[in-house]
Amino acid sequence: MTLSARTFAWLLVPLTLMSALIALTAGPSGLSVAGVWQALWQPDAGVNGLIVWQLRLPRLLLALCVGALLGLCGALIQGLFRNPLAEPGLMGVSSGATLAVVATLIFAPGLLALLPNPLETLARPAIAFIGGLIATTLVMLLGRDNTHSPLRLILAGVAFNMVAAAGLGLCSYLASNEQLRTLTFWTLGSFGAATWQAVGVTAAILVGIALLAWPLHKPLNALLLGESECRHLGFQVPRLKRRVIFLCAAGVGAAVAFTGIIGFIGLVVPHMVRLLVGPDHRRVLPLSLGFGALLTLWADWLARTVISPAELPVGIVTALLGGPFFIYLIHRQRSTGL
């Protein structure tokens, strides 16, 4: 079944708004929808206003921004490699960005502390971006061959993820008890540390990446025909690869810098969008952005409500949802001979 892009967008907007209002009620304080609505319009309305504006609203907006980044980056990577199994996590972007941030926090904890608060907020995405960029470049170099088969690339990503996991294991072994809590946050993913500064930085990066990614829909559509056909249509494939890698490293780096690893959003979202609206990247890119935001919001809501008043790391929820979907994709590719 396919939908028009306009119909999908009209469904996404009210679903996201309703989900956001419901998500603001999730938490141990037991705020009702009416209480949340009142607090939104009266920020100084006592404890409820404090809870909504200082705790839940930054978390909600950060979840939306991070989900949008992961969905968009997943669509870019899948479009570049023409492979529905490609996603930022499998390509090593997430693990590379996480390893860079965690290694900085464990081995050079005073480095970020030397910076003033606004610069410290910007330094984490910068470090994560560098780690993600190095990881993606290495995976592409290791996975390059003349057959254009995605298998070698995926194996290179898996190999890098194993190396990064070993690095994270070394960090956890050398970390203090206090640092172990931080390490758990980065490896499992959480929106619990959301702040307005993090929301502002992530939103700005999201807007920039979305604006830079939109012109890529034409070369990505041409790339669906193959690299040689894409070149014959006048597009520079190496330049396209560099731009996609840069944007994905920046986007995933921003997400990892404030929330840790949140897997499978970049895998599930673009694939479902393609099933619903087709392969045209004029539709896939913006709708993956919107659907990624919605799906991440749902995952965070589940993380906060399943074992309330405690909460699960959101990375566990997305892994439980995305793992079976990944197995389904592998089975589907095998059964169709792709």
Q: Which of 261, 278, 277 has its CA nearest to residue 322? A: 261
The answer to whether the predicted template modeling score (pTM) of the entire model surpasses 0.95 is no
In the three-class reduction of DSSP (H, G, I as helix; E, B as strand; rest coil), residue 311 is classed as coil
Q: Is the separation of the CB atoms in 318 and 189 below 8 Å? A: yes
In the chain, where does DSSP find H-type helix?
5-23, 33-41, 46-51, 57-81, 93-107, 109-113, 117-143, 150-174, 177-188, 196-213, 217-223, 227-232, 237-259, 265-277, 281-305, 314-336
Q: Tens of pLDDT along 128-174? A: 889 988 998 888 888 776 655 566 777 888 899 999 999 999 988 88
- The alpha carbon of residue 95 and the mean position of all alpha carbons in its chain are separated, in whole angstroms, by 12
Q: What's at 174, amino acid-wise?
A: L
Q: Is the separation of the CB atoms in 191 and 314 below 8 Å? A: yes
Q: Give the number of other Cβ atoms within 10 Å of residue 210's Cβ.
A: 17
Tokens of 107: 């081995």
Q: Is the separation of the CB atoms in 84 and 271 below 8 Å? A: yes
More confident residue, 56 or 136: 56
Sign of the Cα torsion 189, 259, 34, 45 reads positive
Instruction: Give 47-336's CATH code, choosing from 3.60.15.10, 1.50.10.10, 3.20.20.10, 1.10.3470.10.
Output: 1.10.3470.10
Q: Is the separation of the CB atoms in 74 and 266 below 8 Å? A: yes
**Measured torsion, CA atoms of residues 271, 273, 274, 279, in degrees rounded to the nearest 10:** -130
pLDDT at 203: 96
Residue showing tokens 């709708």 = 287
pLDDT at 337: 53
332 Cβ contact partners less than 8 Å away, ≥ 6 residues apart: 338
The b/e string for 146-176 (b: 16+ C-beta within 10 A; e otherwise) is eeeebeebbebbeebbeebeebbeebeeebe
Q: Give Dmax (Cα) for the chain.
A: 64
Exposed/middle/buried for 241, CB within 10 Å: 0-12, 13-18, 19+? middle
DSSP 193-245: T--HHHHHHHHHHHHHHHHHHGGGHHHHHHHTT-HHHHHHTT--HHHHHHHHH
Q: What is the mean pLDDT of residues 74-97?
A: 86
Q: What's at 138, amino acid-wise?
A: L
Phi-psi region of 73 (alpha: psi -120 to 50; beta: other; left: phi over 0): alpha
146 Cβ contact partners less than 8 Å away, ≥ 6 residues apart: none
pLDDT at 331: 73
> What residue segments make up the domains of the chain, in order of their start?
47-336
pLDDT at 284: 96
Per-residue DSSP letter, 26: -
Residue showing tokens 């529905």 = 84
Q: Tens of pLDDT along 95-138? A: 898 899 889 888 887 777 777 777 777 788 888 889 988 998 88
Task: Give the chain's mean pLDDT.
Answer: 86
pLDDT at 148: 55
Question: Residue 27 pLDDT more than 90?
Answer: no
Per-residue DSSP letter, 2: -
60 Cβ contact partners less than 8 Å away, ≥ 6 residues apart: 20, 23, 24, 297
Q: Tens of pLDDT along 228-242? A: 899 999 999 889 988
Tokens of 236: 């520079």
| Distances 275 to 61, 111, 131, 145 between C-alpha atoms, Å | 27, 46, 32, 29
Question: Residue 332 pLDDT more than 90?
Answer: no
